[in-house]
Amino acid sequence: MSCGCGTLTLPSIPEDISAKIHNHPCYSEGAHHHYARIHLPVAPACNIQCNYCNRKFDCSNESRPGVTSMRLKPEEGIKKVLYVGGKLHRLSVVGIAGPGDSLADAKKTLPTLALIKEHAPDLKLCISTNGLLLEEYLDDLITLGVDHVTVTINTIDPEIGAKIYPWVFYQGKRYKGVEAASLLLQKQLLGIEKAVQKGLLIKANSVLIPGINDHHLPLVSQKLRELGVFLHNIMPLLSEPEFGTYFALNGVRSATDEELSRVQEACGMDIRLMTHCRQCRADAVGLVGEDQSGEIHPEEYLPLSIEALKEHYNVALRNESFEKIELFRKALDKANERIEKESLSSNGQTFLVAVTSGGEGMINQHFGSVKEFLIYEAGDKGVKFRQARKISTEYCTGPDSCGNPMDEICSRLHDCTLILTAKIGSCPQESLAKVGLITSEKWANQPIEKSILEAVQEYIISHDQERG
Ligand code: CLF
Ligand code: SF4
């Protein structure tokens, strides 16, 4: 099973853990092409302040900054889950990731999880927290069957922490500066340690903040590994003036793709990395990377009774869909297995390849409708997923409106060698060729990894021939 690993050669994943992550789209890179998640925005309160967060918007620890989700009550949340699960059979996980901190608002998070456990027990339960109250609520989470928990931990040094967290509110008292950062760190480490001891699968998120914790994150990774954390997700700081955060207004800029790659490379020496995170919304719905939240309207599910929604949810049909997905995954793994057997013989060179995909692990999206490119790295060590790069608008937004975000696309893909896509017009193809990007439709509707292997092999051969 592929798991979004970094550069470290880790021992293989034990069978019981493999089973737990098999259809979790965040914990398993392989699963994210096939299985969907839903976030329920039931928890608006928070007990700390992060300098990259503006509380007018959703929690930036597990969501894209600058987005405001509609709040739901627990009983509205379960209705939404049953409604979406009945429509979107590939839904496998429910996450609570804000819009504040799930455990600062445990009075709403825990009843919501209890309702899901009661009415949709086939779904995995997942929460994301800043960790301040993790230890306090651990037993409740275990009783409810939550076994995937994300803790955002940006530093293990209180001096650095004081630059990120201006205050922490704990047991009726507001702490500030280094004292606040020390308290938060101590509670995070204790919560993680206890959670791992009790068998929870912990993912840690760290926001990569240029000039603040960029050089320090490998130490965080080391510590997380010692604590038994399963996966480390480095998320680039997104910092735009319109987000109105302390960092954005005080000159702390967004992290670049290159900085992210560099830090991932350094952290991947110590721990298994998640590289396919899309910093989704607190009300995200659908495959990771393909948010369908705008298609789900409260008036469609709120008037219905739980009983009616359970019928619509239809566990038997959902099970059949899961079986089909698993058959497809097996066929896909078989098609991709060549990449494990065949060496690329790139003589130490690595190539970045951008792919357009609408899911299912295939090159099945038209260049014109792409909102994000999947970037893979291919070299002597094989083909591995590196990161997703979003663009602000698709190349083509309608029949009469072929836009021209080509400058942005060229700049986001400037370090790539090849672009593999399902379809591309001659006009964008020529523009990309001018900046040295080679595009190809040859692998349209083919599995991603084996296509990259073949495309890079072809590229190496043709270049060797050119050089004589
Ligand atoms: Fe949601 Fe987070 Fe659970 Fe996934 S998201 S609570 S672990 S179900 Fe996933 Fe979204 Fe990244 Fe989060 S892609 S922001 S890592
Ligand atoms: Fe914002 Fe989340 Fe930090 Fe709270 S924990 S301040 S909601 S980013």
Report pLDDT digits (tens) over 305-320: 999 999 999 999 999 9
Token pair of 395 as six digits = 């190349």
Q: Which of 39, 48, 63, 206 to mutate to test the pocket of ligand 2 (most atoms within 8 A of CB)?
A: 48
The tens digit of pLDDT for each residue in 358-394 reads: 888 999 999 988 889 999 999 877 888 888 898 887 7
Worst-scoring range by mean pLDDT, 109-113, 210-214, 450-454? Answer: 450-454
Predicted pLDDT of residue 5: 42
Q: Which ligand sits nearest to residue 57's alpha carbon?
A: 2
| pLDDT at position 116 | 97
Give the lowest-confidence range in 133-137, 150-154, 430-434: 430-434
Cα distance between residue 88 and residue 357, in whole Å? 19
In the three-class reduction of DSSP (H, G, I as helix; E, B as strand; rest coil), residue 84 is classed as helix
Distance CA 373, CA 8 (A): 25
Q: Is the CB of 97 under 6 A from ligand 2?
A: no
Rounded to an integer, the average pLDDT of 215-223 is: 96
The tens digit of pLDDT for each residue in 125-150 reads: 999 999 999 999 999 999 999 999 99
Q: Average pLDDT of the chain? A: 90
Cis peptide leading into residue 121 (ω within 30°):
no
Higher per-residue confidence, 347 vs 453: 453
In this prediction, residue 169 has a pLDDT band, given cuts at 50, 70 and 90, of very high
The C-alpha atoms of residue 177 and residue 175 are separated, in whole angstroms, by 7
Burial of 162 (0-12, 13-18, 19+ CB in 10 A): middle
Q: Is the pLDDT score of 21 beyond 70? A: yes
Helices (H) and strands (E) in the chain, counts: 16, 16
Cα 234 from Cα 379, distance rounded (Å): 23
Positions of E strands within 303-460: 350-355, 372-379, 382-390, 418-420, 438-440
Smallest-distance ligand from the CA of 235 = 1
CA distance 7 to 358: 26
Relative to the CA of 203, which ligand 1 atom is closest?
Answer: 7
Q: Is the pLDDT of residue 347 over 80?
A: no
Q: How many Å apart are CA 283 and CA 298, to the nearest integer?
A: 12
Ligand nearest to the CA of 21: 1
Confidence of residue 398 (pLDDT cuts 50, 70, 90): low
| Lowest mean pLDDT, pick from 105-114, 438-447, 454-463 | 454-463
Of 36, 11, 6, 14, the C-alpha closest to 23 is: 36
Using the atom order of ligand 2, give the atom closest to the CA of residue 47: 4
Mean local confidence (pLDDT), 347-358: 89
Give the range among 7-21, 50-64, 276-290, 309-323 with minimum mean pLDDT. Answer: 7-21
In ligand 2, which atom is closest to the CA atom of 55?
A: 1
Q: Is the pLDDT of residue 43 over 90?
A: yes
Least confident range of 204-218, 275-289, 327-341: 327-341
Among 23, 93, 128, say which to mutate for ligand 1: greatest number of ligand atoms within 8 Å of CB: 128
- Tracing tokens 């399963």 back to the chain, one arrives at 230
Residue to mutate (ligand 1; options 21, 103, 150; most atoms within 8 A of CB): 150
CA 49/CA 167 separation, integer angstroms: 6
What's the pLDDT at 2? Answer: 38
Give nearest CA residue, ligand 1 atom 6.
95
Compute the distance from residue 74 Cα to the ligand 2 centre, in Å: 21
Q: Report whether 428 contacts 406 (CB < 8 A).
A: yes
Alpha helices in 366-447, H assignment, sequence order: 406-412, 426-434
What mean pLDDT is predicted for residues 115-131? 97
Q: What is the distance in A from the centroid of ligand 1 to the CA of 336?
A: 26
What's the pTM?
A: 0.84
Cα separation, 50 vs 148, in Å, equals: 23
At 243-264, the pLDDT tens digits run 889 999 999 999 998 999 999 9
Among 60, 133, 152, 209, residue to substitute to test ligand 2 (most atoms within 8 Å of Cβ): 60
Q: Tell me which DSSP letter residue 132 carries.
A: T
Of 176 and 265, the structure prediction assigns the larger pLDDT to: 176
> Which one has a higher pLDDT value, 102 or 394?
102
pLDDT (tens digit, 9 = 90+) per residue, 58-94?
A: 777 766 666 767 899 999 999 999 999 999 999 999 9
Among 242, 236, 254, 267, which residue's Cα sits nearest to residue 68? 242
When pLDDT is averaged across residues 308-336 and rounded to a whole number, the result is: 92
Angle between helices 134-143 and 177-197 (to 10 degrees): 30
pLDDT at 342 over 70: no
Instruction: Please determine, for residue 8, whether its predicted confidence score (pLDDT) is greater than 60.
Output: no
Q: Is the pLDDT of residue 239 over 50?
A: yes
pLDDT at 404: 64
Please report the atom of ligand 1 found closest to the CA of residue 278: 13
Q: Average of pLDDT values for 343-361? A: 84
